[in-house]
Chains A and B, each alone.
Chain A
């Protein structure tokens, strides 16, 4: 589980759907026949003043189509491409597999795309196809989930920034003093485990000595199981002051349980969630605030990063800078990583401005 927003069984369901409805949705593709136009490809040295040419063909390859989260991300990407007067194409299948993605990489490559922005379904399996596309002149940008052979990876946030946001939120809600537990996804979910590790490190700082992390439990990114784990937490620690859930399924289940129980108002719930899922619980007072990176901005930044890469403003080396439209200036970090920034915090005041 690298993406906290993807329901656990989506693959299974998609497989079932594909078997039964091959005709209906087996080939959700958008392969455009595009005329051949030579691309220059990433150059050796960066020229920060290079002009971004018009008409760049920028292809977005999400993990799969029909996923509400990637729909929003890509809408942001389309916006960026539109601002750059480029040509936006979305390519992908209905199943989040590397095999199907390779076909769409090849299709993008054959259509002589200038930039391929990809959320890789496998860090290695997509690389031969991506390398071939690069030889064909495409700049390769990873977003959401990286492959090992991208030129630049646009990260939604850094582990440190997310860990810090989580600690800051729970600290603010408990006034810096109290016990809390973590309701995570699966015990071996890489993302969640790194964030929890980052949290533990930040908790060592003097500012947070009043906070105690008493337990970490796992709801396996399943509504029911998260619900039951939340229930068990409250029974095991009747005096628990707060729960941090760094996964969208977990935080919604925790909030739902608390909103319908005697603990409402007694226990603080925060973590990473989507505004639509959490709206009810913010309005009814169960949840004060929670965070998530803004998926639209992620796609937007990925679009600009790809264009900057193709134009030669950056090459993916550490320290290079470029401007991403309304988001302002960004610097390429270690290992060719561009970090979107700290997650956006949602609360009663701003939650109704977001719809995802």
Chain B
């Protein structure tokens, strides 16, 4: 009840002290600016090291490379904000990617948008199942989604039976999605930007969006104040699933080869992206803008490492160190803001 984030809910902030509100509002901004700064510094340094990094093709690669992870991170942020977590996103994305590919193989004449919608639908169903399990069984989401991580992957493996969908099986118009420019940005990246903006606006300005923060901050209090917590959590999981489905479709379009292992291990990258972007694993804090920026940072790191010619043996260690550094920095900032908040009169944090 005394957490600062619920206090910032626009519809409920009328009574909150103006000073505390300003400080609390600045906090997420600082988090996001820090990540943005890191992205800019990394890109600038890599560009100075090798101008080819920002060639026309290089910029396109950066955009397309960040698309899948950014879409996943937005969905994950939704779930994390409600103090849940979805570890099954990698498997859901794999199912959707394989389903998309298989639809093209089975019904070669199907229009591309229909197949894409089917991919999203697969994700939506998986996400809905996650949400129902979490709310109905009242088991921590960590455990439920760890179970569905394996269940969905097993399903995918059984479905694929060791098979593979190759670029040849997909229509040219689907594989060329990345070549369609929307305001100078490749279409898949434009879709990702649209997802970020829409979900961002929803979380900031819609009552049900703000309620997700309330649930994540204090589920009991939220329930007592009449928020349908269960329904909101199910919705968050369902939307996250649909976005994982979308990510699977975009993956298939980008990489052209799909087997039953697509997205394996992705869940950890997604959670890392969201956390680096300032979405607290403890719930109630963060924005999807931050999560998307976190995804951009992580994919930029992976894209930049080969240019710096860092030995492959070190690559994962470097990524890990950078994640720790980002989280450490973030924590430092959070502590400082918390101190300021206390000084400003508002308790909690």
Chain A interface (Cβ < 8 Å from any Cβ of B): 7-10, 12-14, 16-17, 19-21, 24-25, 66-68, 71, 187, 217-218, 220, 223-224, 227-229, 231-236, 238, 252-253, 256, 259-263, 276-277, 279-281, 283
Contact = CB atoms under 8 A, between A and B. Distances in A.
A283 B168 contact: yes
Interface string B249-266: 000001111011110110
A17 B155 CA distance: 7
A187 B316 CA distance: 13
Contacts of A71: 162
B328 to A, nearest CB: 26
Interface string B151-170: 10111111001111011100
Nearest to B177: A260
B340 to A, nearest CB: 40
Interface string B49-60: 010110111101
Query: Size band of the B side of the interface?
Result: 35 or more
Interface in B114-160: 150-151, 153-158
Given A13-B264, A24-B158, A235 B153 contact: no
A276 B169 CA distance: 9
Contacts of B65: 228, 231
Contact of B55 (A8, A217, A235): A235
B23 interface: no
Given A21-B158, A280-B168, A68 B163 contact: yes
Nearest to A68: B162
A224 B72 CA distance: 16
Contact of B53 (A14, A17, A235): A235
A25 B255 CA distance: 30
Contacts of A276: 164, 166, 168
Given A9-B264, A260-B178, A276-B168, A235 B312 contact: no
Contacts of A224: 255
26 contacts: A8-B261, A9-B265, A12-B264, A13-B153, A13-B156, A20-B150, A21-B154, A21-B158, A25-B158, A66-B161, A224-B255, A228-B306, A231-B61, A232-B305, A234-B57, A235-B52, A252-B256, A253-B255, A256-B255, A259-B175, A259-B256, A261-B57, A261-B60, A263-B57, A277-B166, A279-B168
A13 B262 CA distance: 11
Interface in B49-94: 50, 52-53, 55-58, 60-61, 65
B306 A233 contact: yes
A272 to B, nearest CB: 15
Given A235-B52, A256-B256, 17 more contacts: A7-B261, A16-B153, A17-B154, A17-B158, A25-B158, A66-B161, A223-B257, A231-B306, A234-B57, A235-B55, A235-B61, A253-B257, A256-B257, A259-B167, A261-B61, A276-B166, A279-B168
Nearest to A230: B306
Contact of B312 (A68, A187, A259): A187
Nearest to B46: A235
A253 B157 CA distance: 21
B157 A19 contact: no
Contacts of B162: 66-68, 71
A95 to B, nearest CB: 12
B307 A17 contact: no
Contacts of B53: 235
A220 B164 CA distance: 19
A224 B151 CA distance: 23
B162 to A, nearest CB: 4
B302 interface: yes
A235 B50 contact: yes
A225 to B, nearest CB: 8
B313 interface: yes
Contact of A260 (B155, B158, B175): B175
A20 B151 contact: yes
Interface of B is mostly: helix
Contacts, number: 124
B106 interface: no
B257 to A, nearest CB: 5
B55 A260 contact: no
Contacts of B154: 13, 16-17, 19-21
A220 B307 CA distance: 17
Given A66-B162, A68-B162, A227-B255, A280 B167 contact: yes
B167 A13 contact: no
A262 B259 CA distance: 27
Report which residue of B176, B255, B260, B303 has the largest number of chain A beta carbons within 10 angstroms of its beta carbon: B255
A20 B178 CA distance: 37
Nearest to B151: A20
Interface in B159-202: 161-164, 166-168, 175-176, 178-179
Given A16-B153, A218-B312, A236-B309, A231 B303 contact: yes
Interface in B295-314: 302-303, 305-307, 309, 312-313
Q: Which 7 A-B pairs have the closest CB atoms?
A: A232-B306, A280-B167, A280-B168, A20-B154, A279-B168, A17-B154, A235-B52
Contact of A236 (B60, B151, B307): B307
Contacts of A20: 150-151, 154-155
B58 A281 contact: no
* Best-buried of A71, A223, A263 by chain B (most CB within 10 Å): A223
B257 A260 contact: no
Nearest to B309: A236
A13 B261 contact: yes
A16 B150 contact: yes
A125 B307 CA distance: 42
B171 to A, nearest CB: 11
Nearest to A252: B257
Contacts of A262: 56-57
A187 B313 CA distance: 8
Most buried by A among B55, B154, B175: B154
Contact of A281 (B55, B167, B255): B167
Given A233-B306, A234-B57, A14 B157 contact: yes
